[in-house]
Structures are given as C-alpha cells and as structure tokens.
Structure 1
Amino acid sequence: MQNVAIFGVPRSGTSWLGQIFNSSPKVVYRYQPIFAYSFDGSLTAESSSKEIARFHEELLHTDDDFVCQKQNISGNQTPTFSKEECTHLVWKEVRYLDIIHNLLEQSEIKIVGIVRHPCGTIHSWQKAPREFNNQWDILEEWRHADKKNTSEHDFYGYERWLDATRMFLHLQENFPNRFHLLCYEKLADDPEKYTKEAFDFAGLAMEEQTETFLKESTASTSDDPYDVYRKNKTGFEWISQLNPVIINEIKTDDRFLEIEKHFGWNTLEQKKR
C-alpha cells in the first residue's frame, strides 16, 4: 500500500478533497483517525517508523464507523464508490498538523496539504454550526479562536492559519517529491486539472468514477455545511458575507500579503467578482 495523507486547517476543503481521492477505485479512504477514540494518541510528533507503520496497518483494517465515515458529521450519507484491488490508503486530518514533519522524516508517506484563503476559511467556520457556536462573536474569535482552540493540535482562527500555511510552504520547499501543496480556490475553479495534478503526485490514475464524481459534486448543491456538493461555490462567497472589518484586517496584513504571492488569490478573486 502507498500511504497518502491529506492535511489542512478546519474548513479548508479537506472533506471534498478526501472524497475526490475516495472516488478512485484504487483507494481505501479513512476520515480523521487520530481524532477518533479508536486511534486517539496513536501518532505524535515523536512517533517512530515502526509506530507509523503499525498505525497504517491498523488503519487499513479498521471498521470504526467514524473513521470509515459511513455518515458525515451531520449524520447524512456520504458518497459511495465501487472499489477494485486497492493500492493506496488515503486518510485526512484537520488537527495534529504538528505531526506532518515527523511523518515525512520517519516514513515514505506522501502528503497533500490544502490551503484556502483565510477569509474563506473563517467564513466557512462561522457557517458551521457544530464548530462555531452562534452565541460567539466572530469579531472576537476570528483571529485567535480562543473559544475553539483547546490545545496545540487545534488550528482554528487566522493566527493558526498563518502558522499552518507557512509550515506547508516550508514543507513543499524541503520535501518537493513527498509534499504536494494544493490551493482550494484553484481546485474549485478547475477541479479536473488540479485533481489530476494531485493524483499524479500520489501515483493514481484519473478514472471514470472520479471524473463522474467531480461533475456531480460541482453540479449539485446541499444545505448541509458538512456535505461535499458545491454547485456555484467559488470559494469567494466571503467577499459579500464576511464582516468587512475582518476582510480589511487580513488583506492589509503584511504577513498575508507575503503568503498571497504563492497562491494568486487576488487574480482569482477578480475573476469571480
């Protein structure tokens, strides 16, 4: 089995990307295992190569309902796909990003990191009822997410987005053959092109089942914030819906402007206006 992990901060598109990989008939897909009770604490930033190998073996054979994602967080049915002889184990996490460097050092895993514009990430978080309490004030929470981040493994809020994105850029530079950086807005703009790039990186072929899912997931819509169907979703809904104070703070932050150069969000934003 080739092991592949998908990492991104919460609300950055990891669930959609995970199901895109799951649509391959060659993939066994697992959902946020380290967050699950059955795998709690099974990987750390100090895990040995043997511990990582054992984790992947157990992950491959688990029948945990949460990890196998028989339903999404809202309790709704997830997509189902036909499988052939599988060659890849793919799993995704939005916490524990601090373990990525050790995974790359201690194993042959390949990792796909996905980054979404911070305004889009914060806006999506605000709209997720199981993650953002409607009694909270977004103007108080957007930067540090003090009410949501309960440990060093949590990556909600703008400051943690900066930490994660800088780390991803560093990993892309230092592990170019093992770490693939993907921009959510570019994936939404041209799903087939950027899926093919990610599949090529992982050693997977784009097959008809994935092509069909890409069409279906972008041609259907849902009111479920945890679903993967995104008709008419560009990633730039925040332009008219997120508090303008937050938008201005982020877009005038020199730290964001330095990162923006790597993703071209300004060009994409103008295209979608």
Structure 2
Amino acid sequence: MFGYVAKENYKRLKSINLSGCSQLDKTDTNISTPGSFIFLAGMPRSGTTWIAKIFDSHPDVLYRHEPDSRGRLNAIPLFAQRANAESHNNDFQKFLECVSHLRDEKTCASLPIFPKSYISPSAQLIQGAMIYLAKSSAKVLGRSYVPQLFNTKRHPQIRLTWKSIESLGRIGLIATLAPDSRSLLILRHPCGYVASTLRGETGKQFECLDSAAEDYGLFEPLLAAPSSSKFGLTIDSLKKLDPVERLAWRWVLYYEHAISEVSSLSQVCIVRYEDFCADPIMEARQAFQFTNLNWSLQTERFIASSTAKDVKGYYSLTRNPLSASRRWETEIDRSIQQRIWNIAGDTAPGRYYDF
C-alpha cells in the first residue's frame, strides 16, 4: 500500500562545490516555481533508480540523477537536522538553482530516454544522439557534457525531479526549506538491502571498492545523529560486529534519522520498494497523485516494459519486480536473515516490515 505508514497524510562540511555547473545555459536560469520540485531519496540498492525512472517517464518531468554527487551539496551535513534548516538555506538555494541546468552526462543523461512535452520530436532525436555520444565520450574522458535543446522558461508545466542516495539524511531539512516540494522516502527490507550490497561488493559493481560495512567515516556522523543515541553504539562496538551486522546497523541508523526528521511533514511520504514491486501501476498512480502529477500512458508503458522479463545485469532496470524484491530470501541463509532482523526489527524503519 502506498505510504505504508504515511504520517498525517503523508561530516562532510566543505565549501559548496558547484563545479558541475560550469556547463550551464546562462540564458535559461529558472524553472517555474522551483520550490515545487519532486525529491526521491533512499539508501543504495533500494530500488531508487527504477522508481526514479518511473517518474522520469512522465512527459512533464525534467529528471536529474543524483545531482548532489561530486560534492555539490557538501556545505550541508549528510545527516542534517531540520531544526537547523534556516542556517543552510542559502547553500541549498544555490544548489537548487544549479540542479536543472547541470549538463554532465551522469546527472542529466541517465537511460532510458523518454519523449517530453517540452521538447519537439526532432529536437528529441538530436538530444538523444548527443546523450549517447556523451555516454561514449565519458567512458574515455571520464566526464562529458550534454547540450540542452529547450528553454525551461517557455514550459511552465515542467516538474523538476531529482533522485539521491546521498541526501537521504538531508530529507527533512530539504522538505523544510521547500515546503511546496513533494518527497518520497524509499524503504527497502533490511535483508534485501544487505543481500544486494554484499552481492555488489562481491561482483565489484561499485565505484568505491571499500566495503560499506567498514566505512567508519560514515558511521561516525551517523552515530552522532540524535536519533542514534538510543542504541548506545560506538565505533568500537561496531568494529566488534561482523560485516552483515554492521550493514544492518547502517540501514537502521540511516532510516532512523530520516524517519525521525520527516515524521510530522505532510510533504514527505514514506513508501516501500516492495509495494512498488507488488503492484507498480497502483503505487505509481498514487505516488503521482501525491506529487501532483497527472497519470501518463507513457509511464504505464514504461512500467509494462520494465517488468515484462528479467534482463541479467546488476543495474538492470528490466526485471521481474517480485523476484527482484524477494531474491534475498534464497540468497542469504536463514540464520543471517535472523541476525539482521534481530538488529533491525524493533526499530522505527523495521516496524514497516514483518519477518
């Protein structure tokens, strides 16, 4: 069910780095009502990319894929508190002004590409060719840029939508600074998160080769968040655990913070990846309704095509969603599942699930 429990409706501090804005269209500086953007946030390996592409399939959406990567939002702590929102307002507004005008291939050229209401069919063909060229160039040069063949000011129907696995801990602050925005906080079962993460690390699928279970530089600010104090954890106590247990705690601490930050915000809805897998059309319809998007047959076609068969590949967007969401049940031993659940079960995010 959409918004499984929807509350009342639904450190790395550096100078902000807007280097990704170096390729901006200086004549096109504003999307209509920029505060009405849609924000999708969740942990890595939680179905965020597929759900984001469901939104991108809408013809009025201007999608940006993880625009806060590459240090662009480092001026705001990873695990920010909405109580401190005002002190970060200027930094966030600078970032938001930049987002729709980013031109780097990673951010504005994620596949598949969808026809849009704000770009003509001929321009769409040219834009698509440029995107594929940029992707080819990025493999050689490391980074490339894509020209934008439309002017956002001429199309007030555009809805800026961005997805992040980095700013889950900032979701409460972001929603507070943009009360007209709509955000989805995306959960995935802790066993599913742990199993997928272990599979990706074993297959060397991640850019960072360090184990997530040993990322103590991330655990430190996580443990410093007020929502973590109830667990009595320290870095030393975490180091005594095995990798599976540390990953389970990573899941708990991330979502404990995020859920505590959005619990009273009607502009944020908590959703489960598993519900999208079970009934993607219904969940997408309700997600669009919550974010004030009308239903699109183009979205319906994308959901049908992306769920019609299983295409091998760790990052594949075409798969049987029910099989994908339940793969962990046979992928990791029952004893490991139980250890994860012993940690995650009696927590705020754990209460969204049964074991």
Give, in angstroms, the shift of residue 163 of structure 1. Answer: 1.6
Equivalent position of 2:336 in the other structure: 246
Q: Percent identity?
A: 24
Say if 1:252 and 1:98 are closer, same or farther in 2 by CA, change over 3 A.
Answer: closer
Q: 1:151 aligns with which of 204, 207, 218?
A: 218
For 2:297, the equivalent position in structure 1 comes to: 208
Query: Counterparts in 2 of 1:65-76, with a 5 A limit?
Result: 65-70=105-110
Contact 1:34 1:42 in 2 (8 A): no
Secondary structure at the counterpart of residue 34 of structure 1: coil
Q: Deviations over 1:88-136 (max 9, x none)?
A: 11111112322222212222232111101010111111222323999x9
CA contact (8 A) 1:23 1:210 kept: yes
Amino acid aligned to 1:130? Q
Contact 1:96 1:154 in 2 (8 A): no
Residues 222-268 of structure 1 show CA distances to partners (whole Å, capped at 9, x for unaligned) of 22211211225241111111133320112334x414547743444xx
Q: Which residue matches 1:222?
A: 311
Ranges of 4+ aligned residues in structure 1 off by more than 6 Å: 153-156
Does structure 1 conserve the Cα–Cα contact (< 8 Å) formed by 2:172 and 2:258? no
Corresponding residue number in structure 2 for 1:166: 256
Q: Following the alignment from structure 1 to structure 2, what is the Cα–Cα distance between the partners of residues 154 and 18?
A: 25
Change in 2 beyond 3 A, CA 1:24/1:218: same
- Alignment RMSD, CA only? 2.8
Q: Alignment partner for residue 59 of structure 2, among 25, 30, 34? A: 25
- The answer to which of 148-157 and 206-215 deviates more is 148-157
Unaligned 5+ runs, structure 1: 71-77, 267-273
Deviations, residues 24-65 of structure 1 (Å, cap 9, x unaligned): 11111111112136x252644466333323322211011111
Please identify which structure carries the higher helix content.
Answer: 2
- Residue among 57, 64, 87 paired with 2:158: 87
State whether residues 20 and 213 of structure 1, in contact with CA within 8 Å, keep that contact through their aligned partners in structure 2. Answer: yes
Structure 1 Cα separation of the partners of residues 269 and 340 of structure 2: 25
Corresponding residue pairs, total: 248
Alignment of 1:8-87 (within 5 A): 8-36=42-70, 39=72, 41=74, 43-44=76-77, 45=80, 48-70=88-110, 78-85=111-118, 86-87=157-158
2:345–2:351 CA contact under 8 A, matched in 1: no
In terms of Rg, which structure is larger? 2
SS at match of 2:161: strand
TM-score by length of 1: 0.80
Do structure 1's residue 97 and structure 2's residue 172 form an aligned pair?
A: no
